[in-house]
Amino acid sequence: MMLQAALDGFNVGSDSIIQAAKFGLLSGDAPTTLDLDALRLHNLIEHDASISRQDFALGDNLHFNETIFSTLANANPGVDYYNATSAAQVQRDRLSISLATNPNITNTPKEFLLRTRESALYLSIMGNPVTGVAPKEFVQIFFREERMPIEEGWKRSNITITAETMNDMEGIIIDNSDWTPTQLCEDLVLGPTLTI
């Protein structure tokens, strides 16, 4: 049902979100229900250096945080869009802030890949899934108001967004984020009561 909703609502193919969907279902106690509050479970799908939420060790990692979001909101000055290069700079800047303020940061390859896929997804869903160019207005409404900017002119892409369509965007983000892990592995979180 979740994968079909992503396809119907955003034209996002299952291959690009299957892991997030699985992790989302694992985050709660009900195996067939996605609980948005449960998504705050640290190190499953929730991660440090978010572009819109506070780090787990520093406070509220569930609700939108305007101060944290300002890194993205103020990115790519002088133009009215975000792209993969600006997304990489936002990731770099948010990680730098988290490294400076969070002594318990988790920054492994898993978190980096999650952040990169999330960035490619917001660019693809809110903008052009081929070029990765997304209007700032659409992205900001999506994050700040937690709604689709339909009234402002957003339309569902005619191109299905897949892992393949996001490959180039993700490559640009990876190449421009100057990322280095601070640890190579972490506890493996498999649900609210299972960590190995």
3-state secondary structure (DSSP) of residue 66? helix
**Segments forming the whole domain that contains residue 78:** 2-195
Residue 7 is part of a domain; what is its CATH number?
A: 1.10.489.10
Question: So what's the pLDDT on residue 70?
Answer: 99
Give the whole-angstrom CA distance, residue 33 versus residue 65: 26
Question: So what's the pLDDT on residue 190?
Answer: 67
- What percent of the chain shows pLDDT beyond 90? 77
Total-model pTM: 0.91
**188: pLDDT strictly greater than 80:** no
At residue 11's C-alpha, the angle toward residues 112 and 118, to 5°, is 10
Number of domains in the chain: 1
Give the whole-angstrom CA distance, residue 67 versus residue 118: 19
Q: Which residues pair with 194 in a beta bridge?
A: 191
> What are the tens digits of pLDDT across the range 132-152?
999 999 999 999 999 999 999
> What are the tens digits of pLDDT across the range 71-82?
999 999 999 999
